[in-house]
Amino acid sequence: GENVEQHPSTLSVQEGDSAVIKCTYSDSASNYFPWYKQELGKRPQLIIDIRSNVGEKKDQRIAVTLNKTAKHFSLHITETQPEDSAVYFCAALYNFNKFYFGSGTKLNVKP
């Protein structure tokens, strides 16, 4: 099966700074990597995703990079705002059917 590791578990940044969250996966057959934002008591919401045939994807202040050789992918948030504070989860799609999630990063953006 797949194993997804996520770091750091907590991240505190000053408003306006950048935040980077990193994930590694174990199975080279995984080919789709979404990132979710989960606010307290709410459902996970997809914020960006990347497929294995792409190295980088950007959507306004959010970007994701993928290194297939090293089997790691990262979430980059620039110009952070207090409303970015939440728990962020990475995931990897294994065998087209199963999603494996990281353990989450609690991001705190200090105003």
* Residues making contact with another protein (CB under 8 A): 4, 6, 32, 34, 36, 42-46, 49, 89, 91, 93, 95, 97-104
Q: Quick check: helix, strand or coil at residue 83? A: helix
User: Measured from the CB of residue 79, what is the shortest distance to another protein in angstroms?
Assistant: 25
C-beta of residue 38 within 8 angstroms of C-beta of residue 46: no
Residue with Cβ nearer another protein (45 or 67) = 45
Cα–Cα distances in Å, from 19 out to 59, 61, 75, 76, 104? Answer: 15, 11, 8, 6, 14
Of the pair 77, 88, the CB lying nearest another protein is at 88
**CB half-sphere exposure, 9, CA atoms < 13 A:** 1
Look up residue 31 and give its DSSP letter: -
Nearer to another protein, 43 or 111 (CB): 43
- Residue 50's nearest CA partner among 67, 66, 69, 72 is 66
In the complex, minimum distance from the CB of residue 99 to another protein, in angstroms, rounded to a whole number? 6
Q: 50 or 77: whose CB is closer to another protein?
A: 50
> What is the smallest separation between the CB atom of 64 and another protein, expressed in angstroms?
14
| Least gap, CB of 39 to another protein (angstroms) | 12
